[in-house]
């Protein structure tokens, strides 16, 4: 049999074994709901890391807005709060220390997600094996884990971004309470929060990739083994 | 009538490597299973019984030799075709029931139908029917943890029948059940095999299984020791216990 014939036969059969998107989604949500506590722990590091990212990003956006409104008059307060003029002299950036902290926190968060998802895959070895025995394809298992991660990302990173925005907004009053917030444009702030949200969703999906591939590659014979 | 061999095992050997030591678990097994037959594979633990069983179910591949299911050599199948085989042709029943714990009885039974592309409503209707058939019609919304062992095994039987398979593979189906519940499960399997013309292949060391089996294959030390038909069984049934004990000593 030629290579192409084999592949088209595979495709023909993959169309006979299906898991509709609506069903995949409801299975993924059900799985999250039932393992709510574990899902919460998996999400928690994401919430914190994205809250920090969101806080830093929106904090900078607030500082930029204040610089735009008040110009040099805001400079002493901004410098005191740790911001500096960027190289173009037109914008405001966060200090390098904060950037480092941001990168580090995201890195730690990703490692945390990979770790938690590996645990979750190991816990579900038998369940995955059963599905394989019932005819599930590798791609279906992969899809279920990706959907779960996507949902965790949407909610976890969403919560983190909102938390970061609120804290950044509130704490900005501590530093810049003397300045007038009247003409502040809220859109750049929301854009920065959305950036943090998107990053979080990306990290959540990235973190589940390796564990999900591991799960998808499991052989159905795993259910015959006592230890799982 | 022409007999149709639903399973054919030809000169199958299987070698596992335990550390650096290769251990030959199956040493050349030939076996033919007729469609509609109720076959029990008996043998002490370590005899290669489970290995042979896994091989028939397409869960494991032989080191040499061939396994044909419906005259298709399963070692030639790719991942998709194997998945299709597991989904449509074979229904699995396990000693530990192996229901998906996060799903209700009905969801467990309908999952193979969903994989087979059946619409949600049709799957629910058929699933309810199958649960009725195994005597669990009222408990379809229960989670496996809310069901007794016997009830879980009934759900597993309903699930195994979901896509009207040609073969039901039952691995020690009564192994985790008490004696009377085990009998009920055996009776149910026998009924399904008769009414639905399903081939039942069961690995077991439960002697209650023998009464319902058309044939019993005795495995010892990686080979087929003896194959007995039901009529021969009734003669030798008194000596079975004896032989079993000697196999264990």
> Which residues of A are less than 8 Å from B161 in CB distance?
none
Asked if B66 and B12 touch (Cβ cutoff 8 Å), the reply is: yes
A6 touches chain B (CB under 8 A): yes
CB contact (8 A) between residue A135 and residue B86? yes
Q: How far is B181 from chain A (nearest CA, A)?
A: 22
Find the Cα–Cα–Cα–Cα dihedral A117, A118, A122, A126, rounded to 10°: 60
Quick one: how far is CA A129 from the chain centroid? 28
Q: What is the pLDDT of residue A46?
A: 93
- Taking only the tens place, the pLDDT of each residue in B43-54 is 888 888 888 988
> Which residues of B are less than 8 Å from A221 in CB distance?
54, 59-60
Q: What is the pLDDT of residue B161?
A: 95
Provide the pLDDT confidence category of residue B248 given band limits of 50, 70 and 90. Answer: low
CB contact (8 A) between residue B114 and residue A19? yes
Q: What is the pLDDT of residue B206?
A: 84
Q: What is the pLDDT of residue A4?
A: 47
Q: How far is A140 from chain B (nearest CA, A)?
A: 10
Provide the pLDDT confidence category of residue A78 given band limits of 50, 70 and 90. Answer: confident
Considering CB atoms only, which of A19, A126, A224 is closest to B59?
A: A224
Asked if B211 and B177 touch (Cβ cutoff 8 Å), the reply is: no
- Report, as an integer, the average pLDDT of A108-120: 92
Where is pLDDT greater, at A90 or A157? A157
Asked if B219 and B47 touch (Cβ cutoff 8 Å), the reply is: yes
User: Quick one: what percent of chain B has pLDDT higher than 70?
Assistant: 92
CA–CA dist A64, A70 (Å, integer) = 10
Q: What is the pLDDT of residue B58?
A: 86
**Cβ neighbours, 10 Å, residue A156:** 30
Considering CB atoms only, which of A17, A35, A127 is closest to B83?
A: A17
CB contact (8 A) between residue A135 and residue B80? no
- Report, as an integer, the average pLDDT of B188-193: 90
Task: Tell me the average pLDDT of chain B.
Answer: 88
Lowest mean per-residue pLDDT among A173-187, B24-38, B148-162? A173-187
Considering CB atoms only, which of A9, A137, A223 is closest to B94?
A: A223
Contacts by residues B24-29 (CB-CB < 8 Å, ≥ 24 positions apart): B24/B222, B25/B51, B25/B222, B26/B51, B26/B52, B26/B55, B26/B62, B26/B222, B26/B223, B27/B221, B27/B222, B27/B223, B28/B65, B28/B223, B29/B65, B29/B219, B29/B222, B29/B223, B29/B224
| pLDDT for B38 beyond 90 | yes
| pLDDT for B31 beyond 90 | yes
Provide the pLDDT confidence category of residue B249 given band limits of 50, 70 and 90. Answer: very low
Q: What is the pLDDT of residue B125?
A: 95
Q: Which two tokens stand for residue B117?
A: 């592309």
> Which residues of B are less than 8 Å from A137 in CB distance?
79-80, 83
Provide the pLDDT confidence category of residue B89 given band limits of 50, 70 and 90. Answer: very high
Q: What is the pLDDT of residue A176?
A: 87
| pLDDT for A10 beyond 60 | no
DSSP element (H, E) containing B106: helix B105-115
CB contact (8 A) between residue B114 and residue A31? no
Chain A residue nearest residue B112, CA to CA: A134
| pLDDT for A88 beyond 70 | no
Provide the pLDDT confidence category of residue B79 given band limits of 50, 70 and 90. Answer: confident
CA–CA dist A132, A130 (Å, integer) = 5
Considering CB atoms only, which of A138, A140, A221 is closest to B54?
A: A221
Q: What is the pLDDT of residue A181?
A: 85
ipTM score of complex: 0.87
Provide the pLDDT confidence category of residue A148 given band limits of 50, 70 and 90. Answer: very high
| pLDDT for A169 beyond 80 | yes
For residue B40, the cross-strand partners are B202, B216
Size of interface A-B (CB pairs under 8 A): 87
Would you give the end-to-end CA distance of chain A in angstroms?
38
Q: What is the pLDDT of residue A3?
A: 44
Helix (H, G, I), strand (E, B) or coil at B2: coil
For residue B32, the cross-strand partners are B8
CB contact (8 A) between residue A17 and residue B111? no
CB contact (8 A) between residue A137 and residue B117? no
A29 touches chain B (CB under 8 A): no
Lowest mean per-residue pLDDT among A3-7, B57-61, B180-184? A3-7
CA–CA dist A134, A113 (Å, integer) = 29
Lowest mean per-residue pLDDT among A14-23, A160-169, A202-211, B179-188? A14-23
Q: How far is A127 from chain B (nearest CA, A)?
A: 6
Q: What is the pLDDT of residue B240?
A: 53
Task: Tell me the average pLDDT of chain A.
Answer: 86
Three-class SS of chain A: CCHHHHHHHHHHHHCCCCCCHHHHHHHHHHHHHHCHHHHHHHHHHHHHHHHHHHHHHHHHHHHHHHHHHHHHHHHHHHHHCCCEECCCCCCEECCHHHHHHHHHHHHHHHHHHHHHHHHHHHHCHHHHHHHHHCCCCHHHHHHHHHHHHHHHHHHHHHHHHHHHHHHHHHHHHHHHCCCCCCCCCCHHHHHHHHHHHHHHHHHHHHHHHHHHHHHHCCCHHHHHCCCC
> Which residues of B are less than 8 Å from A219 in CB distance?
59
Q: What is the pLDDT of residue A17?
A: 86
| CA atoms within 13 Å, Cβ hemisphere of A142 | 10
- Taking only the tens place, the pLDDT of each residue in B192-246 is 889 988 999 999 888 888 888 999 999 999 999 989 888 777 655 555 555 555 5
Provide the pLDDT confidence category of residue A193 given band limits of 50, 70 and 90. Answer: very high
Q: What is the pLDDT of residue A90?
A: 59
DSSP element (H, E) containing B121: helix B120-133
Where is pLDDT greater, at B48 or A94? B48
Q: How far is A79 from chain B (nearest CA, A)?
A: 55
CB contact (8 A) between residue A31 and residue B111? no
Asked if B233 and B213 touch (Cβ cutoff 8 Å), the reply is: yes
Q: Which of A133, A143, A225 is most worth mutating to test chain B (most B CB atoms within 10 A of its CB)?
A: A133
CB contact (8 A) between residue B54 and residue A224? yes
CB contact (8 A) between residue B84 and residue A13? yes
């Amino acid at each position: 049999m030629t290579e192409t014939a084999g592949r088209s036969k595979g495709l023909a059969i993959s169309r006979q074994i299906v898991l509709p998107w609506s069903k995949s989604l409801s299975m993924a949500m059900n799985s999250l709901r039932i393992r709510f506590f574990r899902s919460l722990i998996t999400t928690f590091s994401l919430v914190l890391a994205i809250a920090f990212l969101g806080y830093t990003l929106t904090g900078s956006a607030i500082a930029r807005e204040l610089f735009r409104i008040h110009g040099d008059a805001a400079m002493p307060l901004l410098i005191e709060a740790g911001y500096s003029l960027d190289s173009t002299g037109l914008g405001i950036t966060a200090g390098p220390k904060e950037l480092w902290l941001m990168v580090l926190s995201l890195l730690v968060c990703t490692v945390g997600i990979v770790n938690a998802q590996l645990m979750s895959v190991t816990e579900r070895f038998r369940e995955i094996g059963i599905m394989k025995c019932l005819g599930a394809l590798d791609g279906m298992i992969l899809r279920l884990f990706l959907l779960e991660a996507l949902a965790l990302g949407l909610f976890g990173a969403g919560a983190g971004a909102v938390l970061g925005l609120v804290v950044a907004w509130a704490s900005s009053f501590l530093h810049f309470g003397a300045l007038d917030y009247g003409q502040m444009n809220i859109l750049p702030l929301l854009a920065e929060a959305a950036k943090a949200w998107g990053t979080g969703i990306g990290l959540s999906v990235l973190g589940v990739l390796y564990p999900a591939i591991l799960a998808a590659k499991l052989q159905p014979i795993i259910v015959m083994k006592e230890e799982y | 009538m022409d007999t149709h061999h639903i399973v054919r095992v030809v000169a199958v050997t299987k070698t596992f490597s335990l550390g650096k030591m290769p251990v030959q678990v199956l040493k050349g097994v030939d076996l033919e299973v007729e469609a509609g037959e109720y076959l029990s594979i008996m043998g002490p633990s370590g005899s290669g019984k489970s290995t042979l069983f896994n091989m028939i179910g397409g869960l494991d591949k032989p080191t040499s030799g061939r396994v044909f299911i419906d005259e298709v050599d399963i070692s030639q199948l790719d991942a998709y075709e194997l998945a299709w085989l597991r989904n449509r042709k074979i229904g699995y029943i396990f000693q530990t029931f192996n229901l998906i714990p996060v799903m209700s009885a009905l969801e467990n039974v309908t999952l193979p139908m969903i994989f087979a592309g059946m619409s949600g409503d049709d799957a629910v209707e058929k699933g309810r029917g199958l649960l009725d058939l195994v005597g669990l019609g009222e408990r379809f919304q229960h989670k496996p943890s809310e069901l007794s062992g016997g009830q879980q095994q009934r759900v597993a039987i309903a699930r195994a029948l979901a896509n009207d398979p040609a073969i039901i593979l039952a691995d020690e189906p009564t192994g985790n059940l008490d004696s009377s519940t085990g009998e009920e499960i055996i009776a149910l399997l026998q009924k399904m095999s008769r009414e639905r013309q399903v081939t039942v292949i069961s690995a077991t060391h439960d002697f209650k299984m023998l009464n319902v089996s058309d044939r019993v294959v005795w495995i010892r030390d990686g080979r087929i020791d003896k194959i007995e038909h039901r009529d021969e069984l009734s003669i030798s049934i008194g000596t079975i216990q004896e032989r079993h004990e000697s196999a264990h000593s």
